[in-house]
Amino acid sequence: MPNQTIFLSDIHLCESRPSITDAFVSFLNKVTNEVDALYILGDLFEYWIGDDSNQHENVIEALKKLTDRHIQVFLMHGNRDFLIGSAFEKKTGAVLLNDPILVEIFGKKILLCHGDTLCTDDIEYQSFRDKIRSESWKDEFLKKSLSERVSIANEFRKESELNKKKKSLEIMDVNLDEVNRTLIQFNYPDFLIHGHTHRPNQHSINLDGHQIQRIVLGDWYEQGSYLILNAHGIETHRV
């Protein structure tokens, strides 16, 4: 009888880090039938240039093996892989989720998001996010050749790394007022789970008399971590 749900985020799979890809595929292959759902909350890939590319076919195959075993895979766009589309869903059997989304698991209300929309102090990033998430920008980008798209993606990555060095850690973290506003909007869930900031931690929030746990998922740049939720509670594990 399935009785576990797994959450993970920010795996950032990339051809330049094959060991992380190998570790993630191995992780997927070891998921047991006790697990009924796997939630990937954004940035599965370091970049995704479109479903018509032949990127990460071994990862697609491993995800398909999971869904063929009737283990549900839910996927949320991150800031690096927001071009994952319906063809990817069809190839893997995964289901794309809205960001944010409220789910109920084991009687707990859980609000899921990638996390970048909570980082409202980073005004430059939010402006850039609005631009590249627009349908017109995405349509124009996907009309380009695969090689052009790779070049643009690599330029974005370089710019992102340079910008990070110029910004304070506080600016790139979540805005707590935005966190509270979101929690109120979704009627005080039991948990808020997100990634993006690469600052794994558990935060206890007392908001209007409600106790809420905000859990930040870790990234997989150097080591992998994930959450397991079951009827007894929630635990962090490392790969």
Lowest mean pLDDT among 64-68, 102-106, 231-235: 231-235
62's CB contacts (< 8 A; 6+ apart) are 24, 25, 28, 29
pLDDT at 171: 87
For residue 150, give the nearest of 21, 63, 46 by alpha carbon. Answer: 46
The residue-averaged pLDDT of 211-236 equals 93
Angle CA(209)–CA(210)–CA(213) in degrees, nearest 5? 140
Is 1 a residue whose pLDDT tops 60? Answer: no
Percent of the chain with pLDDT over 90: 89
Percent of the chain with pLDDT over 70: 99
pTM for the full predicted model: 0.95
Instruction: Give me the domains of the chain, ranges plus CATH numbers.
Output: 4-238 (3.60.21.10)
Q: At what angle do helices 146-166 and 135-142 cross, to 10 degrees?
A: 130
* Cα distances (angstroms) measured from residue 57 to each of 21, 93, 224: 11, 14, 20
pLDDT at 110: 98
Is 2 a residue whose pLDDT tops 70? Answer: no
In the predicted model, what is the mean pLDDT of the chain? 95
Is 185 a residue whose pLDDT tops 70? Answer: yes
For residue 13, give the nearest of 40, 57, 45 by alpha carbon. Answer: 45
Comparing 13 with 172, the larger pLDDT belongs to 13
Q: Let me know if 45 is exposed, middle or buried by CB neighbors in 10 A (0-12, 13-18, 19+).
A: buried
Comparing 49 with 165, the larger pLDDT belongs to 49
The residue-averaged pLDDT of 28-54 equals 96
The residue-averaged pLDDT of 148-167 equals 89
